[in-house]
Amino acid sequence: MGTTTTYREAIRASLRLALQRDPKVFLMGEDVGRYGGAFAVSKGLLEEFGPERVRDTPLSESAFVGAGIGAAIGGVRPIVEVMTINFSLLALDQVVNNAATLRHMSGGQIGVPLVVRMATGGGRQMAAQHSHSLEGWYAHIPGIRVAVPATVTDAFGMLQAALLEPDPVFIFEHATLYPMEGTLDESPVDLSRAAIRRDGRDLTLITFGGSLPKTLQAAERLAQEGVDAEVVDLRMLRPLDMDTVLGSVARTHRAAIVDEAWRTGSFAAEVAARIQEQGFDLLDGPVLRVCSKEVPMPYAIHMERAALPQVEDILAAAQELVGHHV
Amino acid sequence: MDPSPQAMLKEMLRIRRFEERCAEAYSAGFIRGFLHLYIGEEAVAVGAMHALRPEDAVVSTYREHGHALARGMDMGAIMAEMYGKATGCSHGRGGSMHLFDASRRFYGGYAIVAGGIPVAVGLALADQLLGRTNVTACFFGDGAVAEGEFHEAMNLAALWKLPVLFLCENNLYAMGTGLERHQAQTDLHHKTRGYGVASEVVDGMNVEAVFAATRRAVDVVRLGEPFFLEARTYRFRAHSTADPELYRTKDEVEAWKAKDPIGTLSAWLKLEEGLTEADLRRMETEIQEEIAAAVAFAEASPLESTQELLRHVVAAPQLQEALP
Ligand SMILES: Cc1ncc(C[n+]2csc(CCOP(=O)(O)OP(=O)(O)O)c2C)c(N)n1
Ligand SMILES: [Mg+2]
């Protein structure tokens, strides 16, 4: 049995453990040191490990992500924090053209054992430039791994597991999860399997990251109405564990995907496509998607709520699915 | 120990003849994709590489055949790479623009302009953190100096006192855009003042001058700070095989050819060091033999099996890639 802690503290504990255990590990990013991290994740680590290993960078996303790639090739173990996914767009060249390609372009000579973490997602009234959910874009890219921890245990464990990977691992931490409390189990986690977070017989709700708490809430509400929903937490967007997804759909025959990204070209679209490609005969009806509305994220709270997937939207999708059956 | 001028002449000639052969192979359809020739600029690669040690790292661009050869990479493996063969230095995944040799710390050709510069900064950061006194030499063109990645990387290297040699091959053109049409400050070495990075400009058509300037620069870098060396040079050939060369005059090209680093060095060696026509012929013969062997190796080499298509994407096969 584990201890109760927050998602934020679980990541901090994981960072601390990594820094203690391996002198080659260092953390770098904007305001990770003196400031303590934009989300206070790395608070206290500068004092404990010093400015060389908890390294504040200039506002140069491309340079410090690229430097992380070079440093990883050069034999150290960087953990790069990009403040948020919104700013990671300035480093996309380094990610897409270098981190993801070097092993392949070099015919296997050069690997990039790099961990990049960043906050993602909306729901905090940050408006259109600070609310993106673009982890699905990263999942498009072969050559990197994409982790989306949704629990305290995964927040801790996925970072540890990422540091054992010989390839770049991108960890997307949904910003609304940082204060979330949960039970921390420090045993090793893997970076290949999805997890069933709630068993159910009537339908499968597939989700990840910041949408997991909402989806679990929706499942509880459905239970009150006598509908038994299974909840699958993808955990990894690349590689994607379709065995777990299809195993669940084989039991429930109905599926909806909850994804905070815009519907068009969303990761939910990928999951839906694979379910019908690989499990068409398992289905009793169409695979539904609960996504954000196709609008830049508005600031006003009621508008933002209307744009993001809400528990009610998940319930509506579930009812539609169950209705299909009757 | 200083390299002899004669040895450097041969190295430049080796790069020149190799690339001439590449151009032929391209015309004949054996080499495809992009092919960016370095012809005219050989003095920079040869002079600079002699100032580096084997344990130093090199990061280059898509115009990197000269750097790869001067760094000691096997000519056959380079040619085979361009032929797309399994025996190529990148097993046919890279082609002309992505040559790699980890054993020589040749960390590749980068085909996004300026994209390799942050990686070079990171390699230097690793050296600094591990207490190694290596230098990372990063080659890029004048065009790259306009990119944000260059400026971000320069600031980071200066801020953290990283041992990076920024080596700008200023050949006066970014594809078809002349220097004065893409830079407000055309004296590129002046640009680093704002970052507090020391710099120097050198005649990139003079191999001995490049060697000497690079050695001075490397001495500074090895003590733990970046340096920017601008080598003024010129490419005699088109930007790539796709370039119709509408942006410069034949006269301009001819004027630069009069400064050919190979022609001027061999003329000087004949005048001052008694280099004979026979010596030159012997050099040519040896080089042609090596090239012929490289071509034969490339031609005879097998293609990588498409069974291997998904190899080297990640270290272990991903779940999803194993799926149908
Ligand atoms: C970011 C980016 N923009 C545009 C291009 C297309 N491109 C390839 S080479 C080149 C010119 C680069 O000039 P320079 O840096 O001077 O190098 P040179 O080719 O002269 O050696 C351009 C525009 C590219 N590869 N990458
Ligand atoms: Mg140029």
- Bridge partners (DSSP) of residue B199 are B228
Does the annotation count A61 as an active-site position?
A: yes
In tens, the pLDDT along A51-91 reads: 999 999 999 999 999 999 999 999 999 999 999 999 999 99
Q: Please give the C-alpha separations between residue A244 and each of A162, A202, B44, B210, B260, in angstroms, as whole numbers.
A: 21, 16, 56, 60, 65
Instruction: Quote the CA–CA distance of B96 and A72 in Å, as a whole number.
Output: 25
B126, closest residue in chain A (CA to CA): A71
CB < 8 Å to B126, chain A? 70-76
What phi and psi, each to the nearest 5 degrees, are found at residue A292?
Answer: -75, 155
Q: What is the pTM of this model?
A: 0.94
* HEC per residue, A167-196: CCEEEEEEHHHCCCEEEECCCCCCCCCCEE
Q: What is the ipTM of this complex?
A: 0.92
Query: What contacts A263, CB < 8 A, 6 or more positions away?
Result: A269, A289, A291, A292, A294
A111 near B CB under 8 A: yes
Nearest to B122 among A24, A66, A240 (CB): A66
Q: Percent of chain A at pLDDT above 70?
A: 99
Separation of alpha carbons A97 and A301, rounded Å: 38
In whole numbers, what is the pLDDT of chain A averaged over residues? Answer: 97
Cα–ligand 2 centroid distance for B140 (angstroms):
8
The dihedral through the CA atoms of B177, B178, B180, B182 has a sign that is: positive
| DSSP 8-state assignment for residue B302 | P
Given the DSSP bridges, would you call strands B227-232 and B164-170 parallel, antiparallel or unpaired? parallel
A104 in contact with B, Cβ within 8 Å: yes
Close Cβ partners of B288 (under 8 Å, ≥ 6 residues apart) = B17
- Which residues in B82-226 belong to E strands, given as ranges? 106-110, 136-141, 164-170, 173-174, 177-178, 198-203
Alpha carbon distance A39, B68 (integer Å)? 45
Strands laid side by side in the B106-110 sheet? B106-110, B57-61, B136-141, B164-170, B227-232, B198-203
Distance CA B192, CA B169 (A): 15
Ligand 1 neighbourhood includes B230 CB (under 6 angstroms): no
Q: For B3, phi and psi rounded to 5 degrees?
A: -70, 145
Report the CATH fold assignment for B5-322: Rossmann fold (3.40.50)
Residue A27's pLDDT band, with cuts at 50, 70 and 90, is very high
Cα separation of the two ends of chain B: 58
Residues of A in contact with B149 (CB under 8 A): 62-63, 66, 93
Is the bond preceding B317 in cis, omega lying within 30 degrees of 0?
A: no
Give the closest residue to B202 by CA, choosing from B77, B32, B44: B44
Give me the residues paired with residue A84 across strands: A119
Rg (CA), chain B: 20
Torsion of CA A79, A82, A88, A91, to 10 degrees: -50
Residues B119, A70: C-beta atoms closer than 8 Å: yes
Domain parsing of chain A, residue ranges: 3-184, 195-325
How close does chain B come to A3, measured CA to CA in Å?
A: 32
CATH topology of domain A3-184: Rossmann fold (3.40.50)
pLDDT in tens, A162-208: 999 999 999 999 999 999 999 999 999 999 999 999 999 999 999 99
Interval A134-148 mean pLDDT: 98
For residue range A194-205, list pLDDT tens digits in order.
999 999 999 999
B135 Cα–ligand 1 center, Å: 25
Q: Are strands A181-184 and A3-6 parallel, antiparallel or unpaired?
A: antiparallel
Closest C-alpha among A117, A82, A78 to residue B122: A78
If you average pLDDT over residues A141-160, what whole number do you get?
Answer: 98
B36 at the A interface (CB within 8 A)? no
Is A320 catalytic? The answer is: no
Q: How many CB atoms lie within 10 A of CB A21?
A: 11
CA distance A256 to A232: 10
Find the CB nearest A105 among B90, B119, B122: B90
Q: Which of B96, B152, B175 to mutate to test the pocket of ligand 1 (most atoms within 8 A of CB)?
A: B175
A72 and B107: CB-CB below 8 Å? no
Residue A105 tokens read as: 């372009």
Cβ <8 Å between A103 and B88: no
User: Which of the 8 DSSP states describes residue B2?
Assistant: P
Contact call for A142 and B313, based on CB within 8 A: yes
Residue A226 in this model has a pLDDT that exceeds 90: yes
Q: Which pair of tokens denotes residue B246?
A: 């509408």
pLDDT category at A324 given cuts 50, 70, 90 is low
Residues A145/A170, Cβ–Cβ less than 8 Å = yes
Hey, how many other C-beta atoms are within 10 angstroms of the C-beta on B86? 14
The answer to whether B152 contacts A58, with C-beta atoms less than 8 Å apart, is yes
Which listed CATH number (3.40.50.920, 3.40.50.150, 3.30.750.210, 3.30.420.40) goes with A195-325? Answer: 3.40.50.920
* Residue of chain A whose Cα is closest to the Cα of B158: A58
Tell me, in angstroms, the distance from the centre of ligand 2 to residue A91's CA: 24
Q: Distance between CA atoms of B121 and B165, rounded to whole angstroms?
A: 9
Interface A-B, measured as beta-carbon pairs within 8 A, has a size of 171
Which residues does chain A have within 8 Å of residue B90's beta carbon, measured at their own beta carbons?
105-107, 109
Provide the 8-state DSSP code for B69.
H
> Residue A198 burial by CB count (10 A; 0-12/13-18/19+): exposed, middle or buried?
middle
Task: Look up residue B171 and give its DSSP letter.
Answer: -
φ, ψ (nearest 5 deg) of residue B122: -70, -40
H or E stretch at B60:
strand B57-61
Work out the pLDDT band at A1, boundaries 50, 70, 90.
low
CA distance B30 to B84: 9
For position A2, what pLDDT does the model report? 83
**Which of these is catalytic: A130, A132, A174, A253?**
A130
Q: Which three-class secondary structure string do you get for chain A?
A: CCEEEEHHHHHHHHHHHHHHHCCCEEEEECCCCCCCCCCCCCCCHHHHHCCCCEEECCCCHHHHHHHHHHHHHCCCEEEEEEEEHHHHHHHHHHHHHHHCCHHHHCCCCCCCCCEEEEEECCCCCCCCCCCCCCHHHHHCCCCCEEECCCCHHHHHHHHHHHCCCCCCEEEEEEHHHCCCEEEECCCCCCCCCCEEEECCCCEEEEECHHHHHHHHHHHHHHHHCCCCEEEEECCEEECCCHHHHHHHHHHHCCEEEEEEEECCCCHHHHHHHHHHHHHHHHCCCCCEEEEECCCCCCCCHHHHHHHCCCHHHHHHHHHHHHHHHC
| pLDDT tens by residue, chain B, 324 residues | 789 999 999 999 999 999 999 999 999 999 999 999 999 999 999 999 999 999 999 999 999 999 999 999 999 999 999 999 999 999 999 999 999 999 999 999 999 999 999 999 999 999 999 999 999 999 999 999 999 999 999 999 999 999 999 999 999 999 999 999 999 999 999 999 999 999 999 999 999 999 999 999 999 999 999 999 999 999 999 999 889 999 999 999 999 999 999 999 999 999 999 999 999 999 999 999 999 999 999 999 999 999 999 999 999 754 444 443
> Please, are residues A115 and A80 in contact by the beta-carbon 8 Å criterion?
yes
- Spatial separation of the C-alpha atoms in residues A55 and A16, rounded to whole Å: 14
Which ligand approaches the C-alpha of residue B238 most closely?
1
Mutate to test the pocket of ligand 1, among B67, B96, B98, B113 (most ligand atoms within 8 A of CB): B113
pLDDT tens, residue by residue, A267-323: 999 999 999 999 999 999 999 999 999 999 999 999 999 999 999 999 999 999 998
CA of B143 relative to ligand 1 center, distance in Å: 6
Instruction: Say if residues B90 and B100 touch (Cβ distance below 8 Å).
Output: yes
Ligand nearest to the CA of B109: 1
CB A182 within 8 A of CB A152: yes
How far is B91 from chain A, CA to nearest CA, in Å? 5
Q: What is the Cα–Cα distance from A280 to A273, expressed in whole angstroms?
A: 10
What ligand has the least distance to the C-alpha of B171?
A: 2
Cα dihedral across residues A41, B158, A70, A100: positive or negative = positive
Distances (CA, A) of B290 to A58, B189, B266: 48, 38, 21
Q: How many CA atoms lie within 13 A of A300 on its CB side?
A: 3
Amino acid at residue number B169: E
Within 10 Å of residue B296's Cβ, how many Cβ atoms? 12
Q: From the list B153, B311, B315, which residue is nearest A167 (CB)? A: B315
Residue nearest to atom 8 of ligand 1 (CA): B113
Given a cut of 70, whether residue A326 has pLDDT beyond it is no
User: Per the structure block, which two tokens stand in for A312?
Assistant: 């009610």
What letter would DSSP give residue B303?
B
